[in-house]
A = this chain, B = another copy of it.
Amino acid sequence: MIPFLDLERVNAPYMQRIEEAAIRVLRSGRYILGNEVDEFEKSFAAYCEAGYCIGTANGLDALTLILKAFAFPEKSEVIVPANTYIATVLPLSFLGLTPVFVEPEEVTMLLNPELIEDKITPSTKAIITADLYGRSCEMARILELANDYNLKVITDAAQAHGAAYFGKKTGSMAHATAFSFYPTKNLGALGDAGAVVTSDKELAQKIRYLRNYGSALRYQNEYKGMNSRLDEIQAAFLHVKLPYLDKENKRRRQMASRYLTEIQVKNLVLPPTDRIQEDAWHLFVVRHPDRTALIAFLEANGIQTDVHYPLPVHKQEAYKEYKSLKLPVTEKMHQEVLSLPLNPVLTEEELTYIIQTVNRFDA
């Protein structure tokens, strides 16, 4: 059986250094916002070609902190992709902001820039782009729109560590970018972790306070802040793994290339091939009208797949107030998408086997 993702194998090459890092931090007696967090923040900001990085407890909190820092008035509207993981939208709800769902572009499945302008009203304050599957959104067009309408651009890059857009690193383009280091991500911690990346100095400073009870100096609270800190021990693990992210992403790109050139099945839609080298290939998402059959066929042949995601945000019980909203492109995608295994520890043989098996599927 080829598992969709085997985290033990993914972390194995780093395990010795991860264990050493753990022991160093545990023995240091310093567990909250110390040197390990500082150093990782500096390295990750540099990696993203951005000014500042602020470690957070997770990716959802990173988005929440960005939105808190912008302090848009309640009921402000924020453009969000209809095709995304629910965590892109939840922070808006916490802060009394209104998500305005925009359909994806058919080929990339990402926020369709051509549909944004129509949704902008005097209450619109920001656009959230979600770089799903590891691919950057169409930032040129989106930044232009944001400039024209004086909107903030926030990127949810939970799935896109190390991606780029025409030479610009993810994290260097939006006003602020949220990363998740959930264990399954391209850069994954061994627990929950996240970060905000921005080049706006004041925003970075405010988020730094907001993640720490709103406190600048100990016991002095300027803002009504959260508690959302990156643990020292997780920062140390991330610091061990960061230097290998590019190498791992390169391996992901090679695998994606093989999939893209070698898979050929009737009715199976592959992801676009135009930006293989800049995509971080967090997931390799194909589409098929009879997804259930394809999943069963692969499973029967020892290949585990996954679905990212089966139910769109506006159809979740949590968002039942949007139940009657019609977003046909998004809804169709959620019925058809299927993620094939793609991660840096898959062997060429496993890859070949997956490709051959998929190509045998006939439905």
Which residues of A are in contact with B by a Cβ distance under 8 Å?
6-8, 11, 15, 18-19, 22-23, 25-32, 57-61, 86-87, 90, 93-94, 96, 182-183, 189-192, 213-214, 219-229, 231-234, 307, 309-311, 316-319
Contacts and interface: CB of A to CB of B under 8 A. Distances in A.
Contacts of A6: 29
A67 B17 CA distance: 41
Nearest to A235: B191
A2 to B, nearest CB: 16
A19 to B, nearest CB: 6
A56 B249 CA distance: 32
Given A57-B57, A234-B191, A224 B26 contact: no
A231 B192 contact: yes
Contact of A19 (B23, B220, B229, B311): B23
A192 to B, nearest CB: 6
B227 A318 contact: no
Nearest to A313: B221
Contacts of A228: 57
Nearest to A233: B191
28 contacts: A7-B31, A8-B27, A11-B29, A15-B26, A22-B26, A25-B190, A31-B189, A31-B190, A31-B191, A32-B191, A57-B57, A60-B226, A60-B227, A61-B227, A86-B213, A87-B213, A87-B227, A90-B214, A94-B224, A94-B226, A191-B233, A214-B318, A219-B307, A219-B309, A221-B319, A222-B316, A225-B318, A233-B233
Contacts of A86: 213-214, 221
Contact of A191 (B18, B58, B183, B231): B231
Contacts of A233: 190-191, 233
Contact of A316 (B18, B220, B307): B220
Contact of A90 (B8, B28, B213): B213
A76 to B, nearest CB: 16
A90 B27 contact: no
A312 to B, nearest CB: 11
A32 B222 contact: no
A26 B31 contact: no
B232 A317 contact: no
Contacts of A307: 219
Given A94-B224, A214-B318, A220-B311, 16 more contacts: A6-B29, A11-B29, A15-B27, A19-B22, A25-B190, A31-B191, A58-B227, A86-B213, A93-B224, A191-B234, A192-B227, A220-B317, A221-B316, A223-B317, A223-B318, A231-B231
